[in-house]
Amino acid sequence: MKPDTRALKKLKRKYSKNPDDRGVALVKRLLLSYSPGWFVVWVLRKYFVKTDYKAARESIKFFQLSNRSYGADKIHQAQRLLMIALRLLGARLPQSYVSLLRSALAGTLKDPTTRNSLSNSILSATKEVPVEIFDASNWYQLSRGLFSLGYFRAAWVARENSLDLSISESLASDASATTLQRGIEAHLERCNFYEADAAIRHSTSRISTDRISEFGEYLSMMQCSIQRTFQYSKTMNNEALRVFDNLVCGKTVAIVGLGLPTGEFGVEIDSADVVMRPKFVGTENLPDPKFHGTRCDVAQYNSISPIAIVSSESQTKKFLDFIKLIITTTESVISPPTIRDVPVLNPKFELPTYRSTAVSGMRLLRIAILGKPISLKIYGYDFYTKIEMYDENIMKFYQRDGWMLGDWFLVGQKDYMRKFWTVNQFSAHDPVSNFCFAQNLYKAGLFEIEPYGMSILELTPYQYVERLEEMMGDW
């Protein structure tokens, strides 16, 4: 059976768009290009984002755009975009703080060597901003904005304020279901398990059963009493779940991420009973076998729609020839039961990461732990501590065929844009949230990790943030 040619062409167009244009409505582009900043904010609030919460979320796009406006000749544009972002957060932010951020952005663009001293000033100023000016949501959006500008330590301060407020706001008698969930997520991240358990019990009538189960599952994992929430059901591919159980339960498992090799672990990886890889793109696109091995028994993808459409193309055949199971974790529609006769497992779930979508590696780690392997070790996880996001061979694949996996943001990426794409990813996938999730599981003894990854997980969360900022250095 040949793939639908029209669908394939449409998919290629979708995932080869310029990332700057993706998802941006024509009206918003016109507003950005020709209207004063105050007018952009007024129109967005009146016609596009009619609540303060949505306005704060919208601010992230403008934080990101201001950072991409790189070069001394674009300082005015960068400052204008940053002003829009800060106004969307609300008028309560002190004007002195707004002015400092805008001048720091301009200073960095003029002279990148001043970045560290400017970052120190932003950190001090963020500590001095009164906590009560924002609620937990606005503090979190500010932290995302600071991450996208590369001021990681200041972002940490804003994020900590958000966690503190989420916990206190969840104690209110009229707290919404979302507020209750955020409070529980904050407790879980900080390993306040007694408080989290009490909050879960208190919220059973106001939070969905699925979320209660996911929180309870995480607590059981941390207490080393694994209770899997995804079971055989009418909506799940039971054959795929049986394959998963047979592959993982009581077996030795290796999970190999996409990070740069940090040691010759190929023989050790290939000796495991089962090898899992997130976003597997074929053995020919792996690093030298002596680093990351050659096997892949289980491949995990965020979305399998592109793979399903091109499933009979020769490129995809190379992906799936030796794979025994495909896992997809964020598919919004019913997954096909098989792709090229490979079973597809879709255990729909959310991770209790604080206000953030977990990255592929964390999702696969959670699934593997729930499979109850006799041992589990991970490789190639650098937790964003390197500017180079993926190994060179994998990056070449994404430059050529990234649309096949739905990762449009890597298509056509230029070398000089690496830092900006890295920090923009930090605002999309909160690195601290994902780090804390992995660190908590590691401290509970639920997996092993190769030496470089271990050196990262042994940092405190704040030391981890310092490491990220040191990695980025000057622009």
d(Cα 443, Cα 222) in Å, to the nearest integer?
A: 9
Residues 260 and 218 both lie in one domain = no
Residues 257 and 401 both lie in one domain = yes
Residues 65 and 211 both lie in one domain = no
Taking CA atoms, 2 is separated from 117, 142, 328, 447, in Å, by 58, 48, 23, 42
Give the closest residue to 306 by CA, choosing from 322, 326, 325: 326
Residue 162, domain member (yes or no): no
How do residues 233-261 score in pLDDT, each as one tens digit? 555 678 899 999 999 999 999 999 988 88
Tell me what pLDDT residue 115 has.
84
d(Cα 46, Cα 88) in Å, to the nearest integer?
A: 12
Helix residue ranges, H only, 321-377: 360-370
Residues 281 and 466 sit within 8 Å (Cβ to Cβ): no
Does pTM top 0.85 for this prediction? yes
Residue 418, domain member (yes or no): yes
Strands 274-278 and 325-328: unpaired
Counting Cα atoms < 13 Å in the Cβ hemisphere of 120 gives 3
Residues 108 and 211 both lie in one domain = no
Residues 180 and 304 both lie in one domain = no
Domain end residue (candidates: 105, 133, 161): 133
Residue 339, domain member (yes or no): yes
Residues 252 and 361 both lie in one domain = yes
Residues 198 and 326 both lie in one domain = no
Strand order in the sheet with 342-345: 338-339, 342-345, 325-328, 298-301, 274-278, 252-256, 375-379, 448-449
Tell me what pLDDT residue 3 has.
44
How do residues 368-403 score in pLDDT, each as one tens digit? 999 999 999 999 999 989 877 777 777 777 777 766
Contacts of 420 (CB under 8 A, 6+ apart): 67, 68, 70
d(Cα 188, Cα 165) in Å, to the nearest integer?
A: 15
Residues 194 and 258 both lie in one domain = no
d(Cα 362, Cα 347) in Å, to the nearest integer?
A: 14
Residue 114, domain member (yes or no): yes
Tell me what pLDDT residue 19 has.
45
Strands 338-339 and 375-379: unpaired
Token pair in block for residue 119: 């970052």
Provide the β-strand partners of residue 298.
Answer: 276, 325
Residues 54 and 117 both lie in one domain = yes
d(Cα 7, Cα 11) in Å, to the nearest integer?
A: 6
Residues 119 and 153 sit within 8 Å (Cβ to Cβ): yes
Tell me what pLDDT residue 16 has.
46
Tell me what pLDDT residue 287 has.
87
Token pair in block for residue 147: 């991450």
Residue 329, domain member (yes or no): yes
Residue 1, domain member (yes or no): no
Domain end residue (candidates: 109, 133, 157): 133
Residue 50, domain member (yes or no): yes
Residues 373 and 300 both lie in one domain = yes
Token pair in block for residue 362: 């964390």
Contacts of 96 (CB under 8 A, 6+ apart): 125
Q: How many domains does the chain have?
A: 3
254: three-class secondary structure by DSSP: strand
d(Cα 65, Cα 74) in Å, to the nearest integer?
A: 12
Note the residue count of the chain.
Answer: 475
Residue 278, domain member (yes or no): yes
Residues 448 and 376 sit within 8 Å (Cβ to Cβ): yes
Containing domain of residue 210, as a range?
170-222
Residues 282 and 312 both lie in one domain = yes
For the chain, report the end-to-end CA distance as a whole number of angstroms.
Answer: 50
Residues 121 and 203 both lie in one domain = no
d(Cα 109, Cα 220) in Å, to the nearest integer?
A: 48
Tell me which residues of the chain have a pLDDT lower than 70.
1-34, 69-73, 230-236, 305-318, 330-335, 402-418, 421, 475
Q: Which residue shows structure tokens 């804003």?
A: 158
